[in-house]
Amino acid sequence: MKKKLAMGFGVCALAFGLAACGGEETPTQEEPVASEETEGVDHPEQEMGSMIDTEDIPDVVATVNGEDIEKGMYVTTVEQQAMQAAMQGLDLESEEGKEYVEELKDQVLDQFINSMLIDDAASNEGLEVTEEEIDNGITELMAQYGIESEEQLQELLEAQGAQMDELRDDVANNVKSSKYMDQKVAEIEISDEEIQAFYDEEIAAASEDESELPSLEEISSDIEFQLQMDAVISTLKENSDVTINI
């Protein structure tokens, strides 16, 4: 399998806190480039409240198989991702920026729902996770967020009222989810015609010059993976109880 499942939202919640408490830029984050949009904006995160309207968002955003997605975590995630876009030069007050935020809200909700559906399914499969796999997951998380030692990790967790056991549990769940998706994706067959149709649709919708877009050969395996993932998620949704309140 060419890609790993994105980390679950339990891990993600702790990771956001780690990044904030650490005060360091993550190694995966590109250095923001000065531009007309970013010059003169020293702290774009301070303007998030005015850029994202959360007043009409209910306390429970959605419920997945009896488990609630609460407003706090949902809003925090949207704001974190919007902040990253602002740091890269997107003016969130522009029409393009406002459209981006509205699309982002939908995407984040989908990510939460999909993650919870996969977690539930993985738990029902009874998949096993070793201590070594959890250790490796924590090592990857530390590298992603520039945390240099377990002592530093422990301090950051304590600073946000979290415990190492919580992090280990979240990483274990994420490993289970990855294993589950490995198994299910491998069972899904995608035809060349489906890959071609998806590629054609994306090319037609792209705003870039076609000469700058990747060829089908370059991203064929990525498209296949995406379609396999979509098929697994679609099946999970059909067999689950999902209520969306926004």
| 42 has a pLDDT exceeding 70 | no
What pTM, to 2 d.p., does this model score? Answer: 0.73
- State the pLDDT at residue 203: 87
- State the pLDDT at residue 235: 95
80, amino acid identity: Q
Of residues 30 and 199, more confidently modeled:
199
- State the pLDDT at residue 212: 77
- State the pLDDT at residue 29: 35
Confidence band for 12, pLDDT divided at 50, 70 and 90: very low
Distance CA 201, CA 94 (A): 27
| 142 has a pLDDT exceeding 80 | yes
> What percent of the chain stands above pLDDT 90?
56
| 234 has a pLDDT exceeding 60 | yes
Confidence band for 210, pLDDT divided at 50, 70 and 90: low
Of residues 228 and 125, more confidently modeled:
228
| Residue-averaged pLDDT of the chain | 81
| 3 has a pLDDT exceeding 50 | no
- State the pLDDT at residue 43: 42
Of residues 23 and 118, more confidently modeled:
118
Average pLDDT score over residue span 195-202: 94
- State the pLDDT at residue 47: 46
* Per-residue pLDDT tens digits for 148-194: 898 999 888 888 888 899 999 999 999 999 999 999 999 999 999 99
Q: Which of 104-108, 141-145, 221-225, 230-234 has the lowest mean pLDDT?
A: 141-145
Q: Which domains are assigned to the chain?
A: 9-189 (1.10.4030.10)
* Per-residue pLDDT tens digits for 63-93: 999 999 999 999 999 998 999 899 999 998 8
Q: Which residues of 209-243 are buried (b: 16+ CB within 10 A; e: fewer)?
A: eeeeeeeeeebbeebbbbbbbebbbeebeeeeeee
